[in-house]
Amino acid sequence: MALITIKNLGVTLGAPLFSQLDLAISPGDRIGIVAANGRGKSTLLKCIAGTLDATAGDISRSRGLRIGYVEQTVPPGLSEIPFHDALGHALPDEQAETEAWRIDVALDSLDVPPALRQLPIGRLSGGWQRLALLARVFVTDPDALLLDEPTNHLDLEKILRLETWLASLPREMPVLIASHDRAFLDATTNRTLFLRAEQSRMFSLPYSLARKALDEIDASEERRYQKDMKTAQQLRRQAAKLNNIGINSGSDLLTVKTKQIRQRAERLEDAARPAFQERSSGAIRLAHRGTHAKVLITLDNTTVETPQGGLLFRTGKQWICQGDRIVLLGRNGAGKSQLVNLIRTAIAEPEKSAAAIKATPSLALGYSDQTLAQLAENETPLATIIRRFEVGDQRARSLLAGAGFGIELQARPVGVLSGGQKSRLAMLVLRLTNPNFYLLDEPTNHLDIEGQEALESELTAQQTSCLLVSHDRSFVRAVGNRFWLIENRRLLEVDDPEAFFSSASER
Ligand SMILES: Nc1ncnc2c1ncn2[C@@H]1O[C@H](COP(=O)(O)OP(=O)(O)OP(=O)(O)O)[C@@H](O)[C@H]1O
Ligand SMILES: [Mg+2]
């Protein structure tokens, strides 16, 4: 019996996101929700969670069903609250005392180190913030889970831990997961919904197999469409011929026949639907300003510390040269983001930097922060571009359109954009900064698969220089040409990331 039944559901937010969606969610379902950026995955989850009203259709939930919903981003107001207390606040008042044991169970089941339990959510790493949101929902003892891009910000070790955690949940508990992480979907789901504006498709298969089945259906629909259109054309030619003969011979019979053939052609043309064409969510392009300097950055045995001043590691003497695309590898908490911050400060605000880091004077930095804090939530994309760059209104509009922001999206506040749309805006800002060195912290978070591949090819094709942190195995393999591993309080150069990847899966 279905626990949640979705009938004829549709949402229009500016444009129709999805329509006539039917879905029965039953015990044991682990459903992946897949679509490009901005197509309505988060919107659908909000409808199911009951925090957003659909434009059309119904959702019925079985009586008393508790739905746990983990949002794509940290909700405002949570940053100041310590991890442990945030879980307590999630419990309903009447359970706060009697059910407090749930908090420790949730913290233990996610292996949260004791030192982190009293830290405010805002001071946790991006990965722990995501797990904190998950734990907050878990303490409420839900009967069904909705997870919106749960692997964003998680490092590889945590992704694997999350996979194990999901596998350990009661088998009957349905879980819906919106994600762009193919490997994660394959490991955690048994059904896949491809969300589409007109005809969404559901398969009782995990992602990769479902994708194959979908591609076959799309291809066979395209063949049928082409065949029907060809038949209709033939009928029309036949009708034209008969019409001529009919006129010349004055035969009523032929005129009637002509009409019938034309009607058949019309019926075929009306019924024929072209196969689904994936619309791109916009182009991702990067600029690359040249420089004559060969060495861009020198690390002179820099000391990297925690914000509290504890030693994390020392870099030794290191050089970042033009054309280097360095991936920083290391366990969570090893100090990757700390080093990125030190380098950023040394370049952007050298007067404030105490670290032994030297950047060449011609260095133009392109920096993207993991939380996209560089974007103002209440500003529109158009205002964001016009305020920062000396481009006129027209040029700003056409740049935005190229990046996937139609007229309507250009005028919405950044705060209501989908996660991927924000990332795409951040990429356009990066491009217009025209840097010669990129410092990127988890740049593929929120980007759909097409966007991830576009970023990969821009970074490699343009011979950019960059230092990046990423948990995405295929992205790291495609982009990196040097690898720095932080281990045992030292920074080591390694040939490739494979040993690190396999050690993460063993932990
Ligand atoms: N409150 C809102 N007002 C207007 N438009 C909105 C609002 N919330 C979302 N949208 C728009 O609805 C569309 C779908 O957004 P949604 O967040 O559901 O996408 P998504 O598929 O989850 O994308 P992503 O992969 O980037 O997370 C986007 O174009 C977004 O800008
Ligand atoms: Mg989303």
Return the number of other C-beta atoms located less than 10 Å from residue 476's C-beta.
23
Domain residue spans of the chain: 4-212, 220-271, 295-506
Mutation pick for ligand 1 pocket among 33, 43, 414 (CB with most ligand atoms within 8 Å): 43
Assess whether the C-beta atom of 424 lies below 6 angstroms from ligand 1: no
- CA 72–ligand 2 middle distance (angstroms): 6
Task: Measure the CA–CA gap between 287 and 459, rounded to whole angstroms.
Answer: 9
Among protein residues, the one whose CA lies closest to atom 2 of ligand 1: 416
Q: What is the pLDDT of residue 354?
A: 72
- Which residues sit opposite 59 in a β-bridge? 6
Q: Which of 42, 44, 36 is nearest to 416 (CA)?
A: 42
289-309 tens-digit pLDDT: 778 889 999 999 999 998 888
Query: pLDDT band for position 507 (50/70/90)?
Result: low
Give the whole-number percent of the chain exceeding pLDDT 70. 99
Higher pLDDT, 264 or 504: 264
Mutation pick for ligand 1 pocket among 13, 71, 194, 414 (CB with most ligand atoms within 8 Å): 13
Judge residue 243's burial from the number of C-beta atoms within 10 Å of its C-beta, 0-12 exposed, 13-18 middle, 19 or more buried: middle
What CATH architecture is 4-212?
3-Layer(aba) Sandwich (3.40)
Q: What is the pLDDT of residue 397?
A: 95
Q: What is the pLDDT of residue 94?
A: 80
- Which residues sit opposite 32 in a β-bridge? 177, 192
CATH topology match: 4-212 vs 295-506: yes
Q: Which residues surround ligand 2, an ion (CB under 5 A)?
A: 41-42, 72, 418-419
Number of helices and strands (H, E) in the chain? 16, 20
Give the whole-number percent of the chain exceeding pLDDT 90. 60
Higher pLDDT, 309 or 70: 70
Assess whether the C-beta atom of 446 lies below 6 angstroms from ligand 1: yes
Task: Measure the CA–CA gap between 274 and 271, rounded to whole angstroms.
Answer: 10
Homologous superfamily of the 295-506 domain (CATH): P-loop containing nucleotide triphosphate hydrolases (3.40.50.300)
Assess whether the C-beta atom of 412 lies below 6 angstroms from ligand 1: yes
Mean pLDDT of 325-347: 90
Residue 348 has pLDDT above 70, yes or no: yes
Return the number of other C-beta atoms located less than 10 Å from residue 334's C-beta.
21
Residue 172 has pLDDT above 90, yes or no: yes
Phi and psi torsions of 183, nearest 5°? -65, -40
Which of 46-55, 350-359, 391-400 is least confident?
Answer: 350-359
